[in-house]
Amino acid sequence: MHYLDYNEHKQHRTGDFPLAYYPVDIHHERYRMPMHWHRETEVIRVGRGQLSLYIDDREVLARAGDVMLIAEGVIHGGDPEDCEYECVVFDAGLLLGPDACARSLRGVLNHSIFLSGAAIAAHGDLSGAVARLFGRCAAGVAENVLGVTGALYDFFGALTAHRGDALLDTPSSRFGQKAEQLKPALEYIETHYGQPITLEALARLTGMSPKYFCRFFKAIVHRSPIDYVNYYRVECASHFLTSGDMSVAEIAQHCGYNDSSFFIKQFRKYKGTTPRQYRAV
């Protein structure tokens, strides 16, 4: 999966099946999760280490064994620390066929829900359902479509039964139209990161004043707009350092840095190493 494709325009599927499975570790090009959204529902399970997840204006620290359900359309991102995690991303329409199922599922699918590993372990049916879902996806989605679909129903059945154990259960519409207003700015950063980006231009896209835009952006993204632009540029640069033969100076130019020494300084700030050292690993 190309790092820059991970946004609402990408369809997450395996062949014709509207579900994709992504195991992620420190070597994955999308190890750090920039703020994004998509039209599919996502289930994340942390296998090792910890993952700071940002959902709307909330930050949730997920540790080994924790599971997070992200509702469709919700802006979210994450910062991993010595972490391995798995993502199952699927079209909710896959489950909403029979009316009886749809009535039960809609009340869950439009919420983002966090379950701790301890809460999952306390209920054998939920623990087993989580293990089956990720186990069957890891074994191969295309080879086991029926098994994966059954595991999804099993997971949501157990989740519905034990939803009272959720530490976070928030509607995807928590910020309503305001969250929607932020999406053009995030999309603009994604498509124009190699060009000069000003606070005024981003604020104008959202219909907010620069001052209010700064406050609202930081509440959702947990970084100031300019900090996020630099963070995103460095993440893009990391991809080019490990997947192509452009020089460091060429990558700096491509990612919006006319001054190579400033690029190196920013890269070290976000990655803790120099671009050359990062490429050599």
Please report, to the nearest 10 degrees, the dihedral formed by the alpha carbons of residues 112, 97, 154, 61 taken in order. -10
Specify the DSSP class assigned to residue 255.
T
Instruction: Say if residues 152 and 133 touch (Cβ distance below 8 Å).
Output: yes
65 secondary structure, DSSP code: T
DSSP code, position 122: T
Residue 136 CA to residue 173 CA, distance in Å, equals: 31
Name the H helices within the chain: 99-109, 117-121, 124-139, 145-161, 176-192, 199-206, 210-221, 225-243, 248-254, 260-271, 275-280
- Grouping H, G, I as helix, E, B as strand and the rest as coil, residue 2 is coil
| Whole-number Å distance between alpha carbons of 134 and 146 | 14
- DSSP output for 186-200: HHHHHHHTTS---HH
Pairwise CA distance, residues 246 & 66, whole Å: 39
DSSP letter at 96 equals: -
Contact between residue 222 and residue 196 where contact means Cβ atoms under 8 Å apart: no
Contact 95, 107 (CB under 8 A): no
User: What are the angstrom distances between the C-alpha of 233 and each of 20, 29, 51?
Assistant: 26, 14, 21
Q: How many CB atoms lie within 10 A of CB 179?
A: 19
For the chain, which residues score pLDDT lower than 70?
Answer: 1-11, 97-100, 171-179
The 10s digit of each residue's pLDDT in 242-251 is 888 899 999 9
Angle, alpha carbons 29-57-95 (nearest 5°) = 65
Tell me how far apart the alpha carbons of residues 251 and 236 are, in angstroms, rounded to a whole number: 9
Q: What is the pLDDT of residue 177?
A: 55
- State residue 39's pLDDT score: 83
Does the predicted TM-score (pTM) go above 0.95?
A: no
- Name the residue among 30, 224, 145, 231 with its Cα closest to residue 44: 30
Q: Is 79 helix (H, G, I), strand (E, B) or coil?
A: strand
Q: Token pair for residue 263?
A: 């690029």
> Tell me, what's the pLDDT at 124?
94
Element (H, E) at 66: none
Using CA atoms, how far apart are residues 90 and 11, in angstroms rounded to an integer? 9
